[in-house]
Each structure stands twice: as C-alpha cells, then as structure tokens.
C-alpha cells in the first residue's frame, strides 16, 4: 500500500467548505455527577490541521464519533463538551450543530464565513455511519467542497465518514496529523535506529500476534507485559493461577517465542508480578515470582524486579515502540509497573513512539507525555499499520504524484 498520499497542503482550500473528519473520541470523567474531558490529547493533536485551514480562509466543518452509541442519540456521547474545549484551545467561537446531517446542519454550514469552525454532532448517532450506508455518506458529503481525513484513530474503519464520503466529494486529502502518524510509524518499521525495542502489553496475544510477527523482521528486543504475558508464561509451562489467559493461543505464543529466539531477537517476559485476590482497589495483593503464583490469585501487574529488568532494556534503546500497558493501571494499586515503564521510556535517549488508546492514557497519567517523541492517537489503527495491513481510510485517499 502506498502511504504517500495527497495532503491538505497540496490543495487549494481558500474560501471552500472543508469537511474534516477528526477523532475527538476523548475519554470522559464523571466529577460530582458532571461529565468532563479527562484527556484532550486527541483534540490538541488535530489543532495544526484546523489552524492551517483557518489560516487558509476555509469554512471548516468538523466531524467525529464518540463511543459506541449504537446508531441512536445518547447524551453521554454528545460532542457538545468537545465544542466548548475546542473553542477554548482555538481561542475562538466554535459553532455546534445538534445533528450531523439534515437541513438544520446545512443551514448552519451556509452561514460560515472564511475561518469559521463548525463541529457537527456525533456521526455514530446514525446507523448509517458504522454500516457505511451510501445515503448517509451522500448526506455528509452535501456539506463539503473538500474532504480531509485527519482521524488516524478511525482510519482502520470502513465507515461512511471515513471511506464512503470519499466517493461523493471530488477533492480529498489527508490532514497533517494523519500524515504525521503514518510517517512516524512507517519510519520506525522501515529504518529504525538500533537497538530497536518493542514493548507490548495489554490483555490479549491474539490482538498483537500480527504485530509481533511483522516486528520480528526489524526489532532487536521484545518486552512483553500485561495480561498477554500470562499466556506466554503458561505456554512455557508455568502455573499462572487465575490470571487472564488465552488457552487457544498457547501454541501460537510458544511459536512466537521460539521464532524470536531463532531470529536472534531477545525476548523478555516478567520475572515477578503483583497478584491479587480479585480485580478491585480493595483486593489483597502481594508480589511473587512468576514461578510462585498462588492458585486462585490473579496477576494484575509486573513486579519490581520485572520493572527493573525492563528499565535496563529500555535504557539502552535508540528506537522504542510501546503498545499496551503492563497491568491493570486504571486501579492505582496495580499501576506501578506501567508507570515505571512510562518513566523509563520518557527518559531514554531514544525515539519513542507510543501506541494510542490505553497506552497513551497511561503515559498521560504518569505525567510523561511531554517526554515522548510521539504519542499516536490511534490504538487499533496503529496496530493494523504495524501488522503491515492496509488502512481503509488511507486507501480511500489519492496517492501523491511525488
């Protein structure tokens, strides 16, 4: 797949209605019963594209999803909060449309002057978005003279606002964030400065198997943490108590480990872990070696010896790719391993690329965001690209002639 696509800087957008698909699927917190934005990284990441369009005198219409509202309006997934935060970041008024298609939206869009910004309501409030209905894609396209995809976090989806709309807008291109995301991940895979260390965590081996296989062609060292580590440990003959495991992936895990060793890749698994009686902040916990996990106890984080081992591996790296937390970091008592890795990556003299989703949130909570070279805004899209697979959202855009 050609990843070199026409970008917003390659086309004339002055005075035109520019429909920008962004990814404002931000995490929310409930404080005293009121919803607030917990992390606005995804909003901030799209500011260069939006500001460029403002400077060019475009009439800007922003489109995003939030959550999985199942094709009907759900107040907790409204983008109204995002419109307020975006206006604060842009230091200008942002209009908000209570729907994403229809006469009311078209009337608002018709009032836009050059440099104005309109955010339309969550596209997933309509079933036509995730089902990629042609009629819904056409209705979205009615707002646009130019379509820009800047939503890397949704670029792996074959949805109406990602791929369907491109069939009905003559001029399409990638935004500055999407271009930056693709270039960082492509450079890490194609020509990394060595040693190249991949840190993989999260719950499931099945979600990372393609990545591990593809990374095996370029990576020097692999660090495994999170729930997926217990599948590897069980595959190597250890008892893992009541820890999360994918029994149908044991053979694959064994093969992955063996192939890595055969290729000369250094493969690091936890040597100790934090175990708990159950998944809860009130659980009893203790630190044990991976050979001594008690029956009916659950592994919830890497232990201090594993953290030190992983820190030593990370310290000598020149390129680091990190996707997946080391444990159930959302619970404070189980967050130390993930935060230790975040601090190690943040202070390494290396190009550090952090996968989106949970990993990005963990880095934010560890206060290490500013120390990372690049934090991807898309977990699933990053994984798909790292597997060497095509992204529908990219494939739908025209190739650059250069």
115-147: pLDDT as tens digits: 999 999 999 999 999 999 999 999 999 999 999
**For residue 191, what are its two tokens?**
């020509």
Which residues, 6 or more positions from 261, have their beta carbon under 8 angstroms from its beta carbon?
A: 267
Q: Exposed (0-12), middle (13-18) or buried (19+): which is 33, by Cβ within 10 Å? A: exposed
Give the per-residue SS3 of 207-257.
Answer: CCHHHHHHHCCCCCEEEECCCHHHHHHHHCCCCCCCCCCCHHHHHHHHHHH
More reliable by pLDDT, 385 or 237: 237
Q: Distance between CA 375 and CA 42 in Å, rounded?
A: 10
Active site residue 67: no
Listed by start position, the domains of the chain span 8-178, 192-386
Active site residue 204: yes
The 3-state DSSP class for residue 322 equals strand
8 Å CB contact between 199 and 341: yes
Sign of CA dihedral 231, 233, 237, 238: negative
**Annotated catalytic residue: which of 355, 357, 360, 379?**
357
Active site residue 357: yes
Work out the pLDDT band at 221, boundaries 50, 70, 90: very high
- 164-165-168-172 Cα dihedral, nearest 10 degrees: -120
8 Å CB contact between 60 and 72: no
**Annotated catalytic residue: which of 204, 254, 266, 308?**
204
For domain 8-178, the CATH architecture is: 3-Layer(aba) Sandwich (3.40)
Active site residue 380: yes
**Annotated catalytic residue: which of 67, 210, 380, 388?**
380
8 Å CB contact between 240 and 233: yes
pLDDT value of position 141: 96
Tell me, yes or no, if the two domains 8-178 and 192-386 fold the same way: yes
The CATH superfamily holding the domain 192-386 is Phosphoglycerate kinase, N-terminal domain (3.40.50.1260)
**Annotated catalytic residue: which of 42, 124, 180, 221?**
42
Describe the crossing of helices 336-346 and 304-315 by its angle, rounded to 10 degrees: 20
Least confident interval from 19-28, 48-57, 209-218, 388-397? 209-218
pTM of the model: 0.84
């Amino acid at each position: 797949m050609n990843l070199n696509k026409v970008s917003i800087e390659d086309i004339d957008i002055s005075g035109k209605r520019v429909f920008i698909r962004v990814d404002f699927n931000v995490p929310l917190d409930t404080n005293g019963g009121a919803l607030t934005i917990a992390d606005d990284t995804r909003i901030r990441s799209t500011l260069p594209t939006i500001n460029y369009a403002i400077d060019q005198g475009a009439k800007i219409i922003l489109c995003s999803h939030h959550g999985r509202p199942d094709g009907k309006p759900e107040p907790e997934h409204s983008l109204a909060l995002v419109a307020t935060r975006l206006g604060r970041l842009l230091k200008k008024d942002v209009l908000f449309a209570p729907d994403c298609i229809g006469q009311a939206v078209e009337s608002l869009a018709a009032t836009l002057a050059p440099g104005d910004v309109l955010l339309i309501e969550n596209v997933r409030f309509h079933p036509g978005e995730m089902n990629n209905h042609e009629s819904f894609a056409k209705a979205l396209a009615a707002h646009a003279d130019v379509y820009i995809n800047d939503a890397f976090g949704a670029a792996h989806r074959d949805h109406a606002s990602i791929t369907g709309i491109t069939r009905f807008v003559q001029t399409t291109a990638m935004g500055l964030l999407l271009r930056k995301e693709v270039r960082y991940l492509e450079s890490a895979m194609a020509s990394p400065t060595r040693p190249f260390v991949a840190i993989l965590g999260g719950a499931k081996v099945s979600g990372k198997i393609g990545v591990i296989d593809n990374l095996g062609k370029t990576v020097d060292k692999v660090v495994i943490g999170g729930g997926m580590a217990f599948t590897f440990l069980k595959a190597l003959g250890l008892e893992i108590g009541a820890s999360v495991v994918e029994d149908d992936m044991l053979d694959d895990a064994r093969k992955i480990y063996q192939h890595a060793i055969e290729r000369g890749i250094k493969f690091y698994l936890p040597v100790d872990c934090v175990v708990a009686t159950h998944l809860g902040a009130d659980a009893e916990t203790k630190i044990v070696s991976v050979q001594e996990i008690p029956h009916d106890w659950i592994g919830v984080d890497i232990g201090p010896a594993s953290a030190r081992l992983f820190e030593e591996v990370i310290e000598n790296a020149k390129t680091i790719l990190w996707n997946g937390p080391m444990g159930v970091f959302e619970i404070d008592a189980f967050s130390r391993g993930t935060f230790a890795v975040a601090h190690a990556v943040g202070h390494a003299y290396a190009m550090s690329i952090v996968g989106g989703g949970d990993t990005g949130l963990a880095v934010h909570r560890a206060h290490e965001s500013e120390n990372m070279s690049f934090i991807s805004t898309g977990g699933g899209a990053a994984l798909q690209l790292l597997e060497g697979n095509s992204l529908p959202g990219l494939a739908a855009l025209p190739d650059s002639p250069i």
